Structures are given as structure tokens and as C-alpha cells.
Amino acid sequence: MTERGQQQSHWDSTYAGTDDFFGKEPSELAVSALGTLKDNGAKDVLELGCGQGRDSYFLCRNGFSVTALDYSETGVCQMKERAAASGVGMNLLVHDAREPLPFPDGSFDAVFSHMFFTMELSEDEVAKILEECCRVLRPGGLNIYSVRNDHDPHYGKFEQRGKDMWRNPMGFVVHFFDEETIRRLSTGYDLLWIKEFDDPSPPFTKKLYEVVLRKPRSK
């Protein structure tokens, strides 16, 4: 089985073992992004790597129309069951974002992803996904994402699986980013800011960057 298949299977089995692997509360990024999204007048939001949906539900509860996708069928099925039970309306899709996004140009006001790009994605794959995100954004739309950074306590540790990528003791391959790499990958966008923040999820505090990009309003 390829690394991609192994990681996908690992996420499926992890989600099958618990309903709230990352907890029930929204991520630090989602809470931080809320004001930015509202200030930008965003309404339609695409979430990449939604997992079990803690941020998707948070965004829905705050008035956004959310389309959420993940390559874990287990996670998406759990979300569909929970959404149906609670009456929350979301467009949920099983989709590997390495493949072209199944949406027309200019479909969304914002793209949101918490630690999605910090998965087993090469720099080339990240660049292609960011390009696809830009395509489906409307002019002036935001791409808000977080990644674990080179100040993180796990940076450079465990089994190396590629450039700035290591497999941790839980079996997940993690991609870490420095500021220079983020700036280089922001081609085609206006880079609004890179901010470091702490993510105190067990069993240790992760070091992340919040990145906010804007699709130019005109070219």
C-alpha cells in the first residue's frame, strides 16, 4: 500500500475508534478566523480536511454556508449522521484534495483548513492545492489555513518521510513549514499575514502558523 493509502486508512481507523478525536470545541484557528471571515463579508466557505467536523459545525453555527470535504469516508459519514440528527445543513463530500476540486471557478468566498497542509503532502502537492483553492475563490476571497511550524517540539524528530516530513509515534506523517516556504508557496495570492500560535491539544502543545491569503480582486 502506498503512503497515501496507509495514511488514509490510518485516519479511517482512528475516526472509527472515537467520535471526537480532536475534541468537541472548535480549533484555535477557527475561533481566530471567525472575525476575519465576517470582516471580509464571506458567506460561502469551503473547508479542506474537515475530519469529524468540529470546525465545520462552528462555522455553520456562526451563519456561514459550509461545504466540507475530507478523504476519510469514515469521518464524512460520521459528520453526515451528526448533521442529520442535529438538523445542521452542510454540503459534505468524500474527496482527496490532491485531485482537482469538484467546483466551478469562483464558487466560494473563503477556503478554510486547520492543519490540512501539515499532512503527508509534498511541497508540489501543496502548491497545486493552493492553486486550485485560488481557482475556486471569488476575487478578493480568503484562503485561511494553519500548519505546524519549525518551532514545534516534534520538528525534526522521529522517522523522516520526506522534506520536512516525519512520521510520529501515533503513525501520522506530519509536514512542518517555515516562513520562507509559506511565502514561496503563496504565489498568485496577496499574503496578508503569518502569525504563530499555540495549539494546546493533548498530549503536548503544538506550534502553528496561521496564514491568511487573499485572491487578488483583479489582475
Instruction: Single out the residue of 86, 37, 81 nearest to residue 63, CA to CA.
Output: 37
For residue 17, what pLDDT is reported? 55
122-145 mean pLDDT: 97
For residue 159, what pLDDT is reported? 87
Partner residues linked to 68 by β-bridges: 47, 92
- One-letter amino acid for residue 26 of the chain: P
In whole angstroms, what is the distance from residue 88 CA to residue 167 CA? 35
Structural domain count, the chain: 1
26-49 mean pLDDT: 96
219 assigned to some structural domain: no
CB 140, CB 214: distance < 8 Å:
yes
CB 105, CB 135: distance < 8 Å:
yes
55-84 mean pLDDT: 86
pLDDT surpasses 70 at 13: no
28-53 mean pLDDT: 94
Q: How far is CA 54 from CA 28, 78, 79, 126, 152, in A?
A: 11, 11, 9, 23, 23
Higher pLDDT, 83 or 17: 83
CB 124, CB 152: distance < 8 Å:
no
pLDDT surpasses 80 at 186: yes
109 assigned to some structural domain: yes
53 assigned to some structural domain: yes
In whole angstroms, what is the distance from residue 181 CA to residue 30 CA? 23
CB 65, CB 8: distance < 8 Å:
no
20 assigned to some structural domain: no
For residue 126, what pLDDT is reported? 97
123-133 mean pLDDT: 97
Predicted TM-score (pTM) of this structure: 0.90
65 assigned to some structural domain: yes
pLDDT digits (tens, 9 = 90+) for 85-117: 777 789 999 999 999 999 999 999 999 999 999
Higher pLDDT, 197 or 10: 197
Residue 205's domain spans which residues?
Answer: 3-14+25-214
135 assigned to some structural domain: yes
Which residues have C-beta within 8 Å of that of residue 63, sequence separation ≥ 6? none
Q: What is the percent of the chain where pLDDT is above 90?
A: 66
Query: CA 141, 63, 195: angle at the middle one, nearest 5?
Result: 50
Q: Which three cell numbers stand for residue 163?
A: 522534506
CB 85, CB 78: distance < 8 Å:
no
- 82 backbone dihedrals φ, ψ, rounded to 5°: -70, -40
162 assigned to some structural domain: yes
For residue 138, what pLDDT is reported? 98
49 assigned to some structural domain: yes
Higher pLDDT, 75 or 191: 191
Residue 198 sits in a domain whose CATH number is 3.40.50.150
